[in-house]
Amino acid sequence: MYFNNKWLPKILLSLVSLSAGALMGGAFIHLLPESFAEVGYETAGLIVLVSFLFFLVMEKFLHWRHCHKESCNIHSFGKINLLGDSLHNFIDGLVISAAFITDINIGIATTLAIALHEIPQEVGDFGVLLYAGYEKKRALILNYFVALTVVLGGIFGYLFNFIITGVMPYLLPFAAGGFIYIGASDLIPEIRKEENIIKSLLNILIFVIGILLMFIIKLIHHE
C-alpha cells in the first residue's frame, strides 16, 4: 500500500464518496429499522444520540480523526492515532458481530459498509503514520496489526452475547449513530470540498451508488 502521488488523490475522494453513501445507507436502510424493531423507537433514538456524543468525545479528546489525504496536519499524533484506530476497529468488530447475531443480511450490509469505509480510512491512517515520522515498512506493518483488532472485536462480541444475552441488539442503534456521525461530520465535508462541478456531480453519483448497494441488499433480503 505505497502511495502513488499521481493516482491516489484521484481515487481517494471517490472511495470516500462510496464509503459515505454506504454508511448512510447502512444506517437508515438497515440498522435503524432493525433497531426500532429490536429495542423500540424511544430507546433506539436515545442510543443514537449517545452514540453521537461518544464519537464526538472520541474525535475531540483522543484525536480519533479520519485523514483522507497523504499529508494531514497531525505531526505528533502517530501513537494516539494507532490507539484510536485500534479502538475504532474493535468497536467495528463488536458491531459486525451484533449485526450477524441479529440477522445475517443485516450482518452482510453492516460488514460491507464498514469495509468500504475502512479502505479510505486505512489509506489515510497510513499517511498519518508516514507524516508522523514512521518508515513506510513499519507504518504498513503497524496498520495491518491495528486492522486485526476488528477480528478481536468480532470474537469478543460473539462470546459476550452468550455471557450476557439480550445486550447485542442495543449495539445496532449505537452503530447507526456512529455511521451517521462519521458520514455526516467527516466524509461528506470532504466531498463538499471539491470545487470542480463535474467531479462534484461524479462524487455525488458515487455517494448514491453507495446507498443503492445497501438498498439492493435490502431487496435481496425480502425476496
Which tens digits make up the pLDDT trace of 52-106? Answer: 998 888 777 655 455 544 445 444 455 666 666 777 788 888 888 888 888 888 8
What CA–CA distance (Å, rounded) separates 115 from 130? 23
> Which positions ≥6 away from 59 have C-beta within 8 Å?
65, 185
The mean pLDDT value for 141-155 works out to: 84
Give the phi and the psi of residue 132 in degrees, each rounded to 5: -80, -5
- Residue 17 confidence (pLDDT) above 70: yes
Which tens digits make up the pLDDT trace of 42-63? Answer: 999 999 999 999 888 877 765 5
2: pLDDT confidence band, cut at 50, 70 and 90?
Answer: very low
Q: Which residue has cell 450490509? A: 109
pLDDT at position 73:
46
Q: What is the largest CA-CA distance in the chain?
A: 53
Q: How is the chain split into domains, by residue range? A: 8-222
Which tens digits make up the pLDDT trace of 162-173? Answer: 776 677 788 889
201: pLDDT confidence band, cut at 50, 70 and 90?
Answer: very high
pLDDT at position 196:
87
> Whole-number mean pLDDT of the chain?
79
